[in-house]
A = this chain, B = another copy of it.
């Protein structure tokens, strides 16, 4: 099934635009996992079990696995999600950005090795960096557009012929770049005005929205700005605020409670 179809089904059937970010940092793990050789796997699968019915997607961030050589764990965690929650798509947050045969190798990494349903990409090198991923017709790709960090201004807010770079990227992703129909855009929750602009330029593209929770973006403002006409269209990521809600023995329950509250806050805002 195509990534956007999975996402649509999930928005409708789970009634959720919440995405839980899997950013496993062993220094913040629950006490009961301390010293366990399978801690990364146990932690991520614990969070998955506690939140799968509440989410439209999971988003593992590959840097957290790469820094400690945990590629085998990443593979196993994605397999665990596919096996136990086959309707929940997995977005591999990798922000790869390269061209030609190198990009083909990165696409193979994301889709064949790790079996992700979708990947995040950086457009700095242009359409050449996106095209090799479109050969995988069912797979999705979220392109960085307006990121949630202050330094995002350095390039994305520059204006060319009356159009800012992030607006230009939104326009390209919504039109000539979207050969597979499976493109989406990454737009930070910290900039609701730009989120509204992107939604105007790309009325139907899925938007991956980081920046709520630990990063401080306002849920109500960002949903109002970014939802589609039918009150869906967003994949709103929260990582640390959910997965590190508690380090005590009740860590899974604590994560679930924050996930429910976040899903519901998004639901209330999407009216």
Contacts and interface: CB of A to CB of B under 8 A. Distances in A.
Interface of A: 23, 25, 61, 63-64, 66-69, 71, 95-103, 105-106, 108-109, 112-113, 122-129, 144, 147, 149-156, 158-160, 165, 168, 172
A98 B112 CA distance: 23
Copies of this chain held together in the complex: 2
Contacts of A154: 123, 125-127, 172
B123 A61 contact: no
Given A124-B147, A126-B153, 20 more contacts: A23-B101, A23-B102, A61-B102, A63-B98, A64-B102, A64-B105, A66-B105, A66-B106, A95-B122, A97-B122, A100-B149, A124-B156, A125-B144, A125-B151, A126-B149, A126-B151, A126-B152, A127-B151, A155-B165, A165-B165
B95 A96 contact: yes
Contact of A67 (B67, B95, B106): B106
A137 B166 CA distance: 33
A20 to B, nearest CB: 16
